[in-house]
Structure 1
Amino acid sequence: MRLVFAGTPDTALPSLRVLLDSPRHEVVAVVTRPDARSGRGRQVHPSPVAQLAEESGIEVLKPVKAGDVEFLDRLRAINPDCCPVVAYGALLPQAALDIPPFGWINLHFSLLPAWRGAAPVQHAVLHGDEITGATTFRIVKELDAGPVFGCVTEQVRPDDTSGALLARLAESGAGLLAATLDGVEDDALEARPQPADGVSVAPKIEVEDARVDWAAPAMRVDRLVRACTPAPGAWTEFRGQRVKIGAVRLAPQASAALAPAEISAAKNTVLVGTGTHPVELGEVQPQGKRVMTAAEWARGVRIAGPSGGGPLDGLERFG
């Protein structure tokens, strides 16, 4: 089949690479989001999908909106059989959906109808799901509600961050997407409607949503931090400035009795109180500074331990 691949971030690259290597399909163009500012210098860069396509000598389309007349005209001229989609990042109007005869087939990183929306992996981690996966389905106007072709499952590990889990799903999902396209071309797959029960929604997690509530149970704190790693990054405040919080470790056996948000620092460990038992901090990143271990940070800001005898004496708190 002649394919126009739609995708934007690194997550889409495993699927694009598999399709570029497929002996059965020809990727004739990609659709991706316009160049955007990124990195420390905030310079304008093409998306990871655009970069790979350009390296492969493939035409790159970057419409501001997928309903732009120029884009739709060009897509019709390319005349793809099918448009596979992985994390494109924009809504597709019906005028675009109607162009390829085999439709637009999306790889979504959840077991639909669970976690429809922009952040399915983050919500799976946040809500403590033990099993998640990836699903291929035909795109329809309603968000993530189209009929399903197939799925793969993936165990959510106790220490999974969203980034680690998504990386595994991107790899296994690439194989699923390729197999789906093979089956569609062979007329061997039937897309089946999603069940009406079990629908859940996964909206984008904003920066404000990623603020740690130290009064919450330790397990909730752990899940929030892992769900927000690497983006948007869990955070808290210390002495009026933001501090990003990396993965934490549950510490139910800790001897320190800490109130929520209270910090206790020893030579190599930093504990923080929660609504249940303490958690041990791993890495932190103070505002405007590099990532460092929690112990390095505590020494730098001079937090005394609970028996350290200093003026803080373990009573410093996160905001």
Structure 2
Amino acid sequence: MRVLFAGTPAVAVPSLNALVEAGFDVVAVLTRPDAPIGRKRVMTPSPVAARAMELGIEVIRAARVDESVTAKIAGVNPDVAAIVAYGGLIPRAALDIPRHGWINLHFSLLPAWRGAAPVQRAVMAGDDITGAVTFLLEEGLDTGPVFGTLTEKVGPDDTAGELLERLSHSGAVLLSQTLSAVEAGRAAPQPQQGDVSLAPKLTLDDGRIHWNQPALAIGRRARGVTPEPGAWTTLDAQRVKLEPMRLRPEIQDLAPGAVAVDGKSVLVGTGSHAVELTRIQPAGKKMMAAADWARGMASLESVVFE
């Protein structure tokens, strides 16, 4: 079966590898254009493009699937298209090209968390269980019937990045199994069932910590926005980056945002109890252990995160 693979970030690479290893004929890869990376802004292929080039697979780079891109897709004559975090909408003209349609690997238990940031939103919401599904792509936002499902427990210390890394590998197996079932004529997608929730793309503001919120909500937010866009607060009107923090429910006498040291621990007050900082990046400096940052401060008595 001839497969067009559409994907862009590193989490899509395990799926591309799985399809190649399973013996599918991946005739081309559709991915986002090269992007500037690092301080020197060097134009760099997407992780999927880089892997496709290593495998000798044709790469179609496109920020959007317009008429010319649709023609290129038609030109490789795929039987099915597999899509994992491509990062763009697929118009009806392109959806209609493969005879088996487009099969999307999505990292949530649809219809929960439809959208661009399902894992991040699940962590921020405090979900205990998440997972991944394969479904038939439609013009609606993640609305198509589901082929297969897997579940994954959300650990109490999981960041969105760690959880997504696990799902990228287990989801790759699910995608390969789904395409095998489609090829054998055994696939029977079922309509989605349950309550719908939305997972819009994260913005920088989603990473801002509001210290008057309960510690549990603050901890979930910090883990949900790690590694991107990252948790942050402000001190003296400058942005300070934070890595996920530990909950300290036994300490409840700190005002929201107030900073204190307890032995080797750097604590911050919240709307409920304190949290313990792990690593912090002050403006203009590198990420460092919170204890090292605290030792470098002349005094913490008047330090209050905003």
Q: How many angstroms apart in 2 are the aligned matches of 1:262 and 1:59? A: 55
Residue 39 of structure 1 corresponds to: 38
The unaligned stretches of length 5 or more in structure 2 are: none
The Cα shift of 1:40 comes to 2.4
Residue 204 of structure 1 corresponds to: 201
Residue 75 of structure 1 corresponds to: 73
Corresponding residue SS for 1:29: strand
**How big is the alpha-carbon RMSD for the aligned residues of Structure 1 and Structure 2?**
1.1
Q: How many angstroms apart in 1 are the aligned matches of 2:2 and 2:161? A: 31
The residue identity in structure 1 corresponding to 2:208 is R
Corresponding residue SS for 1:287: coil
Q: How many angstroms apart in 1 are the aligned matches of 2:282 and 2:101? A: 47
Q: How many angstroms apart in 2 are the aligned matches of 1:84 and 1:187? A: 16
TM normalised by structure 1 equals 0.94
The Cα shift of 1:264 comes to 0.3
- Is 1:262 matched with 2:258? yes
Residue 92 of structure 2 corresponds to: 94
Deviation by residue 1:210-250 (Cα, 9 ceiling, x = unmatched): 11000000000100000010000010001221111101000
* Kept after mapping to 2: 8 A contact 1:267/1:295: no
Count of residues paired in the alignment: 306
Residue 242 of structure 2 corresponds to: 245
The Cα shift of 1:303 comes to 3.3
Residue 144 of structure 1 corresponds to: 142
The residue identity in structure 1 corresponding to 2:138 is V
Q: How many angstroms apart in 1 are the aligned matches of 2:64 and 2:151? A: 33
The residue identity in structure 2 corresponding to 1:290 is K
The Cα shift of 1:298 comes to 1.4
The Cα shift of 1:287 comes to 2.1
Q: How many angstroms apart in 2 are the aligned matches of 1:64 and 1:167? A: 24
- Is 1:316 matched with 2:287? no
Q: How many angstroms apart in 2 are the aligned matches of 1:181 and 1:149? A: 10
Deviation by residue 1:31-54 (Cα, 9 ceiling, x = unmatched): 000111122222211100000001
1:219-298 to 2 correspondences below 5 Å: 219-254=216-251, 257-298=253-294
The residue identity in structure 1 corresponding to 2:148 is G
Residue 213 of structure 1 corresponds to: 210
The unaligned stretches of length 5 or more in structure 1 are: 305-313
Residue 12 of structure 2 corresponds to: 12
Residue 26 of structure 2 corresponds to: 27
Residue 153 of structure 2 corresponds to: 155
1:37-186 to 2 correspondences below 5 Å: 37-67=36-66, 69-186=67-184
* Kept after mapping to 1: 8 A contact 2:259/2:266: yes
- Is 1:300 matched with 2:299? no
Corresponding residue SS for 1:301: coil
Q: How many angstroms apart in 2 are the aligned matches of 1:289 and 1:185? A: 54
Deviation by residue 1:84-127 (Cα, 9 ceiling, x = unmatched): 00000001100110000000100000000000001000110001
Corresponding residue SS for 2:201: coil
* Kept after mapping to 1: 8 A contact 2:254/2:268: yes
